Amino acid sequence: MAKGFYTDTTICIGCKACQTACHQWNELPAVNDGQVELTGNSYDNTGRLSALDWRHVRFIEQFPEDRSQDGFLHGSRWLMMSDVCKHCVKAGCLEVCPTGAIIRTEFDSVFIQQDVCNGCRACIAACPFGVVDVGQDGKAHKCTLCYDRLQHGMEPACAQACPTDSIRFGEVSELMVLADQRVADLRAEGVPAYVYGKEEIVGGLNCFFLLVDKPEVYGMPADPRLPSDNVPEGLGLSALTAAVVAAGSVVAFRKERMDGMGGEPPPDTGPDTVPHTGPGGGSPGGGGPPPGVDLVAFMSAVHGANETARGRRAEPKAEGGCGGACGCHA
Amino acid sequence: MGSNFAECHPVGFRWAMKARERGCKLIHVDPRFTRTSAMCDLHVALRAGTDIAFLGGLVNHIISHDRWFKEYVLHYTNAATIVAETFQDTEDLDGLFSGFDPESRRYDTKVWAYEGTVAGQPELDKSANQPPAKEGQPGVDFRRMPPRTDPTLQHPRCVFQILKRHYARYTPEMVSRICGCSEAQFLQVAEALCDNSGRERTSAFVYAVGWTQHTVGVQYIRTATIVQALLGNVGRPGGGILALRGHATIQGSTDIATLYNLLPGYLPAPSAQVRAHDTLEGWLANEMPTTGWWANGRKYMVSFLKAWYGAAATAENEWGYQFLPKNVGDHSHMPMFVAMHQRVLRGFMAMGQNPAVGGQNAVFQRGAMAQLEWLVVKDLFVTETADFWNAPDVEDPSAIGTEVFFFPSASVPEMDGSFTNTQRLVQWHEKAIESPGDCRSDLWFTHQLVKRLKKLYQGSTNPNDAPFLAMEWNFEEVDGEASAESVLREINGYTLPDRKLVKSFGDLRDDGSTASGAWIYTGIYPEEGRNLAAARDADEYVSLGWAFAWPANRRILYNRASADPSGRPWSDRKRYVWWDDGRREWVGYDVPDFPSTKPPTAKGVWAKGGMDALDGDAPFIMKPDGKIWLYVPSGLVDGPLPTHYEPWESPVDNALYPKHPRNPAAKTFNVVGNRYIDPGDPAFPIVISTYRLTEHHLSGAMTRWLPWLASLMPELFIEISPELAGERGITNAGWVTVATPRGAVECKALVTRRMRPFQVMGRTVHQVGMPFHWGYRGVVTGGVTNELAALVADPNVTIHEAKVFMCQVEAGRNAKAVLARLEDAPRPVPHVGRRERQAAEANIDRAIELAEAAGSPAEILVEPPFPLDQPLGVYHG
């Protein structure tokens, strides 16, 4: 039975308890021992998900010049959202992992076995959400859905620490019922809420989100693609061919993404220039995701701005996809 | 209002989110758009320091639109009570109440009394700094008769009519003019509040230090009291005024009294300046009303003295009353540091406190510590206070003679103990792990200190040492530490001499046969082995089985008011506690806050005193007349009704009372480096607020040393609107220098539309905000925001005004240049060599001799009779 997170962003207070609980439980050290610079990007001083930050709270300030407000989440608003690995039903990282280090667990979560990972980086390029990262140990890291806790009947540390239950852990199908009800309630209030992570999004996300604006506003792709999307139908999908074909397609995919990273500096007026779609800017109807946007442009907007502002190490250059490290080109 | 609930109390905010999911409407009235505003249906921005105008506007709206809850107000408040002719309102006297003495800047509060009552104000020495004790509402003495009332509310001097006149000018236009919010927004809040109050519905106010930290802080909360009383939102489920406390158990440390002017259980501390306090009988007569619940005060005081002094407390020696130290002035934080600066106070123990960063006018406070002989700091890390002598502005640390002792502390999971939260809920926590190294709990430290001091004092015949020798100290000891449960048992109380635990404060006696460390906590440990603070039996509603809420495990105070005067619930929807006619007692979901079998129809007999004096429809039993006080006849020093005064430092004049821009009775401190900014000073045109973030705790002493937390908010910043940033050429994440006459601080800019300029009295007023978590030690460091704030205070409780003052901002890192420009620049910690120190000590000894000879130690504080190498620290109080 699939376990996952339902993250209701409308009750996220941006306290970052999830980030801290995650760091503590998983014994992840703070970047540079905590001595980092203020980013100037609202209250976000973490920047992105990484090998050391498996939870990341995004802050999106949307304020018209007159600061007018007309009810909950209408007009002036400050969106907060705790991002995490989606533990996709069809996981790009798992598709491309040539060593079998990335496995699907008995909880249907996606887990990287550290002792098997050889640091080839294929998974980094294959993840459409920018979740996986290689750490100083040369291996790929991301949220484990607290696999060790789950095996002992405990919920993940972040969900337990969340004071408002913005992060809920449980059976995905049951969580989805809760989310659908919440969407209905919010829509009755006129809030354009929807669930991001139903089947349209890479076959479904075991860790899905309730959002009130376009996915890209939260740094999520509106129409994420998987490496296997490029595999022609009818081709026998043995694990090996999948890996080889996927790796190939990833190179192109990844190249496209990196090229799009313009690295524009953050605007002097602070984070107020994040596009604001306003009420009704979300899904046009039903509970599904809104129309897609250009993925390249989106990745550029999100990663380019964040990383330049933060001045942290850039993501590894991905000309070779796996960089040849995995030996798949040999 | 006055709280950033989501950011500063995120765990409690869980319940606000639950309420919203169930349809509760949340409104945030606050100068900034914070993470709390983000969660609310409506955010109303108002200029910092103008909440009384806004709340006063609500009072006016409720009265003028006839939205008040008539039956509730008539029966449960003092609306009908007639006030003495000697009272004159601010509307009559251009912003002053009657009784003001301009020279001492104090009110003679007797003139505000109810008609025909004896206003037994404590006799105060004019030069004294101590306000009359507040808990227990001393001073209203209705011994002769109950106060006169006019139930038609037509008498021109009845409270209702006075209230109506007082707030008549607080119109929506005036609110908008002063606060800078729109009339429409104000009316939206007013209507939402009125619509959501009455028989079927209730509304609650939540506040924190955004209301208290003002020169009119107490009056902020008082205004909310008036609003809630008029709307019938007190003593009922979903109602009330909730004070969010600033630390995990700050409520507990008020209850068990770390405040200088209180003994445990809100018994006023004796003062040398109140002649009545010379004897226990005088103290009782002065402090304990004869009607209402406080008439039991003698039992609580005697039991308290028995808990402290045991066998040494006897009927013959006034139960040891004379062992209690007496206050000789205002010994709260700021006056204490003034005394320190004057070398009157020579030793200081900072346990869980970091005044080098957290204290207002932090340069002054560090300078004060440089005058100490010794300083003990007990904390988790070597804080800025432990390292004050090594602050960046100290040129020569070797010139500072203070001897500093640092004791590493154990942290919460390393000790047994309790937290008392904002709901008065006492929750026990157990030791989970051993402390590293030599880290010790405060309980261990205090216990060991007392044991050692007891040994030192042993056999002393000096009468000054008698109190210490008399003090009973026989807690169970486990591994050198006093058992926390044994302390809780003493707090709960027991009978004497058999030491059987008492079950409630009803068991306490005034004949020395019971002891109780804090009467309000009795029942928390009702029998051996039953620590109710550790109880964990929750249910879906009131959860009486979860922990223990003082008093008597009662979750909502004054809950008799959840029923109508005849004892029936106001509505089925809001039923909570009611009179059961069949059983002839009060029943309900909570522990009734009323004599359990006193029927709603009971008529009080005044002459009998105590609870017998009050009627069956008088729910507010801690008041001598059983009513909510819309108008406060006694107990406050700056007025019986809240009045809008501008902050001590303000960009504008007082639109309501031009002659009195500031609280006329505010406490000011005329000490070096503490120059105030005059109203409207163009050199300092920007309003500033200081505050906390979720990611750090107060001065950062618990968080800045932890890399995980440090990295979440790594640097000091100023939140500034794009409009002001544009005017000053300030860029996002660029450097900014912020200056006041007290100091200059460099920080990064966070340019955001969450901040906004205000249109106030026809002009644009800019406002900025700065968190105050950084200092010069720890994993991440940064400027000390509190170096900007001034020493100035509310006259009732001496709380500072760091929530609003004036400043100047400019782009770049120019603190040194700006400091040099300031005409009264604060000097670095003053040089004190050995010769100066010896001279000062000789002076102090001479001063004490003189004072003792004169029989008035109070004078030391008020006017040091010896020369100082600094301007005199004479402060108004």
pLDDT in tens, A119-168: 999 999 999 999 999 999 999 999 999 999 999 999 999 999 999 999 99
What is the model's pLDDT at position B855? 58
Check whether B32 has a pLDDT greater than 70.
Answer: yes
How far is the alpha carbon of A122 from chain B, nearest alpha carbon, in Å?
Answer: 29
The gap from C-alpha B156 to its chain's centroid, in whole angstroms, comes to: 34
**Cβ separation of B709 and A272 shorter than 8 Å?**
no
Q: Is any Cβ of chain A less than 8 angstroms from the Cβ of B669?
A: no
The gap from C-alpha B308 to its chain's centroid, in whole angstroms, comes to: 25
Peptide bond into B138 cis (omega under 30): no
What is the model's pLDDT at position A323? 36
pLDDT in tens, A226-247: 988 876 655 544 445 445 544 5
What is the model's pLDDT at position B843? 63
Single out the residue of A28, A67, A34 nearest to residue A51, CA to CA.
A28
Domain count for chain B, please give it: 4
User: B174 and B655 in contact (C-beta within 8 Å)?
Assistant: yes
User: B69 and B138 in contact (C-beta within 8 Å)?
Assistant: no
**Cβ separation of A80 and B6 shorter than 8 Å?**
no
Matching residue, tokens 């659908």: A180
Mutate to test the interface with B, among A43, A70, A162 (most CBs of B within 10 A): A43
Least confidently predicted of B95-99, B209-213, B814-818 = B814-818
User: A92 and A128 in contact (C-beta within 8 Å)?
Assistant: yes
Domain range for B170: 5-243
Task: Give dist(CA A246, CA B702) in Å, integer.
Answer: 49
**Cβ separation of B10 and A29 shorter than 8 Å?**
no
Quote the percentage of chain B above a pLDDT of 70: 91
Mutate to test the interface with B, among A6, A11, A65, A186 (most CBs of B within 10 A): A11
**Cβ separation of B38 and A35 shorter than 8 Å?**
no
What is the model's pLDDT at position A314? 34
Q: Is residue B269 part of a domain?
A: yes
pLDDT in tens, B791-845: 999 999 999 999 999 999 999 999 988 888 776 555 554 445 555 556 656 666 6
- Boundary residue ending a domain (B208, B243, B278): B243
What is the model's pLDDT at position A317? 34
**Cβ separation of A20 and B38 shorter than 8 Å?**
no
Domain match, B115 and B176 both: yes
pLDDT in tens, B608-643: 999 999 999 999 999 999 999 999 999 999 999 999
Domain match, B141 and B229 both: yes
**Cβ separation of A34 and B41 shorter than 8 Å?**
no
Q: Which of B38, B711, B715 minimises the CB distance to A30?
A: B711
Task: Give dist(CA B815, CA B392) in Å, integer.
Answer: 13
Check whether B582 has a pLDDT greater than 50.
Answer: yes
Which chain A residue has its CA at the smallest distance from B694's CA? A15
DSSP string for residues in B842-856: HHHHHHHHHHHHHT-
Check whether B396 has a pLDDT greater than 70.
Answer: yes
Least confidently predicted of A239-253, B23-37, B204-218 = A239-253
Domain match, B41 and B181 both: yes
In which band, very low, low, confident or very high, does the pLDDT at A304 lie, cut at 50, 70 and 90?
Answer: very low
What is the model's pLDDT at position B825? 53
**Which pair of structure tokens corresponds to residue A113?**
């076995």
Q: Is any Cβ of chain A less than 8 angstroms from the Cβ of B706?
A: yes
Q: What is the mean pLDDT of residues B311-329?
A: 96
Q: What is the mean pLDDT of residues B41-61?
A: 98
- Boundary residue ending a domain (B243, B270, B304): B243
Instruction: Tell me the chain B residues in contact with residue A20 when contact means C-beta distances shorter than 8 Å.
Output: 708-709, 712
Rounded to 5 degrees, φ, ψ at B608 are -70, -25
Bridge partners (DSSP) of residue B770 are: B690
pLDDT in tens, A60-118: 999 999 999 989 999 999 999 999 999 999 999 999 999 999 999 999 999 999 999 99
Instruction: Tell me the chain B residues in contact with residue A269 when contact means C-beta distances shorter than 8 Å.
Output: 722, 725, 732, 751
Domain match, B611 and B564 both: yes
Q: Is residue B136 part of a domain?
A: yes
What is the model's pLDDT at position B767? 98
Helix or strand holding residue B717 (H, E): strand B717-720
Q: What is the mean pLDDT of residues A303-330?
A: 36
What is the model's pLDDT at position A229? 83
Q: Is residue B399 part of a domain?
A: no
**Cβ separation of A34 and B40 shorter than 8 Å?**
no
**Which pair of structure tokens corresponds to residue B806?**
């004036």
Residue type, A41: N
User: B457 and B469 in contact (C-beta within 8 Å)?
Assistant: yes
Rounded to 5 degrees, φ, ψ at B148 are -75, 145
**Cβ separation of A80 and B35 shorter than 8 Å?**
yes
Q: Measured at the alpha carbon of residue B178, what is the angle toward residues B176 and B184, in degrees to the nearest 5?
A: 10
Q: Which of A35, A79, A80 minimises the CB distance to B779?
A: A35
CATH topology of domain A3-310: Alpha-Beta Plaits (3.30.70)
Instruction: Tell me the chain A residues in contact with residue B725 when contact means C-beta distances shorter than 8 Å.
Output: 269
**Cβ separation of B750 and A20 shorter than 8 Å?**
no
What is the model's pLDDT at position B790? 97
Least confidently predicted of A93-107, A303-317, B576-590 = A303-317
How far is the alpha carbon of A181 from chain B, nearest alpha carbon, in Å?
Answer: 11
Of B360 and A327, the one with more pLDDT = B360
What is the model's pLDDT at position B142? 57
**Which pair of structure tokens corresponds to residue B300?**
């609580």
**Cβ separation of B41 and A72 shorter than 8 Å?**
yes
Listed in sequence order, the residues at least 6 apart from B343 whose beta carbon sits closer than 8 Å to its beta carbon are B371, B840, B841, B843, B844, B868
Task: Give dist(CA A118, CA B157) in Å, integer.
Answer: 86
Q: Which of B36, B693, B780 minimises the CB distance to A34?
A: B780
What is the model's pLDDT at position A275? 42
What is the model's pLDDT at position A301? 39
Instruction: Tell me the chain B residues in contact with residue A45 when contact means C-beta distances shorter than 8 Å.
Output: 711-714
What is the model's pLDDT at position B673? 87
Of B840 and B685, the one with more pLDDT = B685
Q: Is any Cβ of chain A less than 8 angstroms from the Cβ of B756?
A: yes
- Boundary residue ending a domain (B777, B800, B821): B821
**Cβ separation of A31 and B45 shorter than 8 Å?**
no
Check whether B316 has a pLDDT greater than 70.
Answer: yes
* Average pLDDT for chain B: 91
